[in-house]
Amino acid sequence: MLGLILVSLTTFFIFVYITVFYLPIIAMKDEHEGILLARKQLKFLSRLILRSLGVKLRVIYKDRKSVNELDRKKGIIYVCNHQSNFDIPAIITALHMDVGFVAKQEMKSWPFFNLWMKKSRCVFLDRSNPRAGIKSIQESVALIKKGYPIVIFPEGERSLTGEIGVFKKGSFKLATETNGVIVPITLKGTYNIQRRGRWVMKRNQKVTVVIDKPVHVDRLSREEIKNLSVTIRQTIIENYNKINS
């Protein structure tokens, strides 16, 4: 416990230093350069969080070449299952590409990390307010069309059991409205770090992130688009079941 407290304090002071030093620099950049710099710092902070918890991260690309060759201007949407508050740091650390997130409204209250999420142009979704939710989706579509990749969690909330829940069809509007590219991500292990509804965090856990082959929405039939949420969910479940704990 003492070790975890010391690590947490060290991480906190580094967060403060990075925030104080870099935020004024970002403020002087144009929008594009500011977002990229903020996302770069968010990646650094995410790595720091995982390192402080002793996370053993394994990243598996099914076809890294095809992901590397994706055109940002076509719109890139990463779709991932949702297990823990630590999903975001794990995904940011695992991906070679800078990304933003459609995250729950409550993350706006996370000290320091929330500042970097805002500067990285993450979108905070208020599920209790349908009108605000529509506005958030529209904001996400605009960002994707500008060439900023976004990660979504179509379950809408963290898993209570670690198993993968139902994917909400509405989450896939980002892909259908941008006619973009979906990259399925399977995440396993963050559930063991901190479970939903608990404050306790466990150190030295194994986390695996599987990045699957891209799915080009503009190459799909109407029927395939209609079943997109089911198809992507099945891909993620299959990868999940193949991961050794």
Residue 130 confidence class, pLDDT cut points 50, 70, 90: confident
Residue 228 has pLDDT above 80, yes or no: yes
pLDDT one-digit tens code per residue, 193-223: 999 888 888 999 999 999 999 999 999 999 9
59 compared with 125, residue with greater pLDDT: 59
Rounded to the nearest integer, the mean pLDDT of the chain is 90
> Taking residues 178-187, what's their average pLDDT?
96
Tell the CATH topology of 2-242. Glycerol-3-phosphate (1)-acyltransferase (3.40.1130)
Between 205 and 103, the more confident residue is: 205
* 166 has pLDDT over 70: yes
The whole model's pTM is what?
0.90
Q: Please give, one letter per residue, the 3-state secondary structure of the chain.
A: CHHHHHHHHHHHHHHHHHHHHHHHHHHCCCHHHHHHHHHHHHHHHHHHHHHHCCCEEEEEECCHHHHHCCCHHHCEEEEECCCCCCHHHHHHHHCCCCCEEEEEHHHHHCCCHHHHHHHCCCEEECCCCHHHHHHHHHHHHHHHHCCCCEEECCCCCCCCCCCCCCCCHHHHHHHHHHCCEEEEEEEECHHHCCCCCCCCCCCCCEEEEEECCCEEHHHCCHHHHHCHHHHHHHHHHHHHHHCCC
Tell me what pLDDT residue 3 has: 47
pLDDT score recorded for residue 10: 67
For residue 156, pLDDT beyond 70: yes
Segment 125-130 mean pLDDT:
80
Residues 83-90, mean pLDDT to the nearest whole number: 94
- Mean pLDDT value across residues 166-185: 93
Kindly list the domain boundaries of the chain, sorted by start residue. 2-242
